[in-house]
Chain A
Amino acid sequence: MYRKSTKQRVALAALLAATATVVTLDFRSNRGGPIRRAQDVAVSVVAPLQDGIGRLFRPVGEFLSGLASIGGLRSEITLLENENDRLKAQQREFPGVLLENERLQALIEQKPWTQGKTIAARVIGVGPSNQEWTVFLDKGRADGLREDMAVVSAEGLVGRVTLALRHQAKVLMVIDPEHAVGSKLTGSGETGVLGGKGEDDMKFEFIDPDAPVKIGETVITSGYDKGIYPANIPIGRITRVQSSRDGLSKIAHVRSFVDFSRLDTVLVLLDSGPVSKR
């Protein structure tokens, strides 16, 4: 029959002691020290492999998740058909728009939020967790990336760098529940804080509960939050507005412009981040 040996107890005690050490080290050393170096090693071993395998597996994974969302696809088809008609109508106005565009290009070069020093990075992996919305990029400290730099895509705000390793970096996405960003409405200029809700739409909490809000209005960064994000980066569109029963607060649901499940190439704004760290 089975009997607990001394060796086994010693092993268990050693492991528990190791856990306590690791936890303490992590809590004490904020972004530095041995834990950080271990992270560097772990990510630099896993990330390149991830990149390779990711390319092989991504179509399979997308197919499987596509199967799971087949019900939603039907309504999406109708939506796309409608959009197609709309776009066809728009296309007829195209020559006029082209002229206007040329005029506007003189005013703003490309996307206004990708101005300044930037570096393009590829998403090589997804954080392995059910409670963090993070991605790994194929650029790191060696390429000039630092913690708290803003990350954008052609559609809008993606998130910020939370861990810059030598050749990889981790990005906390705006939809992560830990993420909050000072933002404002393009129409009224009303400000508030936009927090992530994971797979659900983001939540925009207004400073002023009487603020006028329109469905479909665009939300952009306000640039007020300690300077992590530059102002005027588009984030998303308001889908629903909710007032609390006592009328003391107002919350809008915001859908991001960025499709986070299909994120591929992003831009890191090298000029962004808290002033003290530049």
Chain B
Amino acid sequence: MGRLGIFVLLMLTAALVQTTFFARSLFFDVTPDLLLGVVICLALLEGPTAGAVAGFSVGLLRDLLLDSPVGFTGLAYLIVGYTVGIVRPYVQSSSVMIPVVGIFVGSLAGTSIHQILLALVDRSSIGFDRQVRVILLTAVFNALLTPFLYPAIRRLTSLYQKEKVYRW
């Protein structure tokens, strides 16, 4: 299976798990954002371009499944995917905490950017206190999911990059 095939499969699986298993109000009325977690993992493993492409397509899929203005999640995830991919090589560490911190900060940024974009076009439908709760808890939940998510995606991406040499 090629790189594209693996990616599409990953995206669909994440969307499905998000809408079924992580259907809303699982814990404290907030659900983890698995799709954003997948984007950040790909950005960490594959660099900024892959992160940006993944962010855009995953965000677009999410928008299409929702009714909210289409393209806004795409933009937010695109920015996060690209930035995480750019920053990763500058972090001189191979600690296991890297993906956890990356996903936490990335989720924090991604959800905030999305909320800000929605507020800009006056389509934000939830109150400020709930916005803050959603942003913080989504980041915490996503960070907690990292130990399951990151190794799984690393294994998947290694399927097509055996010959690739890392230089950072």
Contacts and interface: CB of A to CB of B under 8 A. Distances in A.
Nearest to B75: A19
Residue from the set A42, A126, A128, A170 with the largest chain B CB neighbour count within 10 Å: A128
A1 B48 CA distance: 15
A15 B64 contact: no
A108 B20 CA distance: 38
B150 interface: no
Nearest to B117: A23
B48 A54 contact: no
Given A11-B49, A61-B23, A130 B16 contact: no
Contacts, number: 146
27 contacts: A12-B82, A15-B78, A16-B78, A19-B74, A27-B69, A35-B64, A39-B65, A39-B70, A43-B65, A49-B12, A53-B21, A54-B19, A54-B20, A57-B21, A64-B26, A128-B15, A130-B24, A130-B31, A131-B68, A131-B118, A131-B130, A133-B24, A134-B66, A163-B67, A177-B125, A177-B127, A198-B130
Interface residues of A, number: 54
A22 B59 CA distance: 12
Q: Is the interface of A mostly helix, strand, loop or mixed?
A: helix
B116 to A, nearest CB: 13
Nearest to A55: B20
A176 interface: yes
Contacts of B17: 53
Contacts of B72: 23
Contact of B71 (A11, A19, A42, A133): A19
Given A16-B75, A68-B26, 19 more contacts: A2-B90, A11-B49, A11-B52, A11-B53, A18-B56, A46-B12, A49-B16, A50-B16, A50-B19, A54-B20, A57-B21, A61-B22, A68-B28, A129-B66, A131-B68, A131-B126, A131-B134, A132-B68, A178-B125
A163 to B, nearest CB: 6
Sort A-B residue pairs by CB-CB distance and give the 4 closest, nearest first. Answer: A23-B71, A22-B71, A42-B64, A126-B23
